[in-house]
Structure 1
């Protein structure tokens, strides 16, 4: 049996109980239409933590046991399944959360495959990138431009595409103001995409380090969400608001900043106590992103118009890194990497 090392989850449990195990396991082989990736890096997302700790068990996630988490993956093609002609062994590639879609439903055939009811999510329904190797669907694998570093590029495949899709729902430009609430890995990318529209960007968060990074990435103003006076100063000032913090208090703050007639895009669940119609505000939900949008994100990164802010750790340290994420101790996006991987 050909083997590899991977972080496997047998049973969801609090991260403090160390439910992940870095161990030797079977190395997968690609089937028709698939390819094998020698993983260079995989970003660490809060949704990984939700799955590992069992928050989504009632929704059928994780779908298999054991499972290898991780859904923002970069690496080199190491083997091709039957019928795969768009890639060659050694190509630098990436995989985002959308691992596969049915390709035949109304959403897939209209370029909205992220809404496919039969979609599979990387690292939740199938094994993901917390490993030395993983299997990907060729139709949902993306060439990574040669100019991009594969470790630094890993977050493009979740925070990058998620933030781009949210900003892409807005019609904003010079003279407009966009407020971003929730400055984790996704929020920092959204600051950059919103700034590219020419709009003035206000970054709102509660962690000084996150606010500092937002300023570095183009936010015109930063606001501490724990400061009522600072929030009051920007009340009713934003033409659009994007939220990435799944907390009712943040949603309330966001609507306080949103102008009458403005648009709120939520990339997380939200709960509304009331929604006054007389303000004529609009709510749009945003989930992952499409293949076309993913390609646009990579083009922008290759052109130097956006960048990631990452801290890299060895793949074997996943539990430690996830614990830091749970404690709010990460400055931006953590990335797990396999040292020494080459094409």
Structure 2
């Protein structure tokens, strides 16, 4: 590697499941064959990072100590060996959730690599981007268009991409009623994308200020979460597509009451508990219920090209790197309206 690079870097380390992040000085990673080294400019702070820090995902303890973070943007500063197809030094690339996949299974070959049985995730099996530098496999390096600001662009790599991929999988045409359950960061990206596709957007959230934000972003129907929320959505025209961003099984009664016949219900939020799904309800209504997880490399490239010419004006708050653990605490308290993003220049 270049002699201009430091020998060490600062990283936010999660020492064990359920432990707060610790700022440590660690060795600078060395890119191996087919890898690049990236100097981070920004990294979004995601609810998935909170779940991982707090031990909610039941990861093996052998994964820790772990560097979290999977919404990173930075510039390539070094190549490993055999990196002939790697982006050039100085290229700005993204470091999203998917770290790598086998590239050979059916999901990988058909553009559905997020469902590869051997995929690894940044900030889970591999160290993430809550650090001054990080490694990226050259085959999974996606260039960030220069029109995208790295601060507002970082959350696009997970939150925005997740909404984009979920909507791509659903049956949507102009005039389709799209209901988002939850109007936080992911829900706000979904509003922008669904509106751009000609949909009529409906939103349910328990927080009135978030519903006000949803209205400002173009949502035509907004309803406070509660026992009658589904019926109110049905009275307003019903939902043809439902995107669930609410991490709770309690939403299912609302979904059943809200949907029109032949609705698509897309599971996105990380809900581990079972839901009371009736097979007869599926049969009688002709509904489709399926999951969607982040997005593929091609979806990310397509989404970034879209975002470069259609700015997604979701509120993004810049934070200092040293404040990343406090930022996760704010997410846990539910006190974040949009997205939080580390600015390594602060």
Are 2:118 and 1:118 equivalent residues in the alignment? yes
Structure 2: gaps of 5 or more residues: 1-5
Q: What CA deviation, in whole Å up to 9, does each residue of 1:201-234 have, x standing for no partner?
A: 01111122322222232212221114x4554322
In 2, Cα distance between equivalents of 1:174 and 1:337: 38
List aligned pairs for 1:309-320, cutoff 5 A.
Answer: 309-320=315-326
Pick which of 82-91 and 282-291 moved more.
82-91
Structure 2 equivalent of residue 200 of structure 1: 200
In 2, Cα distance between equivalents of 1:134 and 1:63: 20
Are 2:284 and 1:278 equivalent residues in the alignment? yes
**Structure 1 length as normaliser, TM-score?**
0.92
Structure 2 equivalent of residue 239 of structure 1: 240
Are 2:299 and 1:299 equivalent residues in the alignment? no
Number of aligned positions between the proteins: 333
**Structure 2 length as normaliser, TM-score?**
0.91
2:42 and 2:72 in contact (8 A); partners too: yes
**CA 1:222–1:5: 2 relative to 1, 3 Å:** same
Are 2:141 and 1:129 equivalent residues in the alignment? no
Partner-residue secondary structure (3-state), 2:284:
helix
List aligned pairs for 1:23-34, cutoff 5 A.
Answer: 23-34=24-35
Deviation at 1:63, TM superposition (A): 5.4
Partner-residue secondary structure (3-state), 2:66:
coil
In 2, Cα distance between equivalents of 1:305 and 1:132: 27
In 1, Cα distance between equivalents of 2:157 and 2:81: 25
In 1, Cα distance between equivalents of 2:65 and 2:112: 31
In 2, Cα distance between equivalents of 1:330 and 1:247: 18
Are 2:11 and 1:12 equivalent residues in the alignment? no
Structure 1: gaps of 5 or more residues: none
Are 2:342 and 1:336 equivalent residues in the alignment? yes
Q: Tell me the C-alpha RMSD between the 2 structures.
A: 1.7
In 2, Cα distance between equivalents of 1:2 and 1:187: 41
1:156 and 1:308 in contact (8 A); partners too: no
Q: What CA deviation, in whole Å up to 9, does each residue of 1:38-66 have, x standing for no partner?
A: 11111111111111111122x43x65221
Structure 1's consecutive aligned runs of 4 or more residues displaced over 4 angstroms after TM superposition are: 228-231
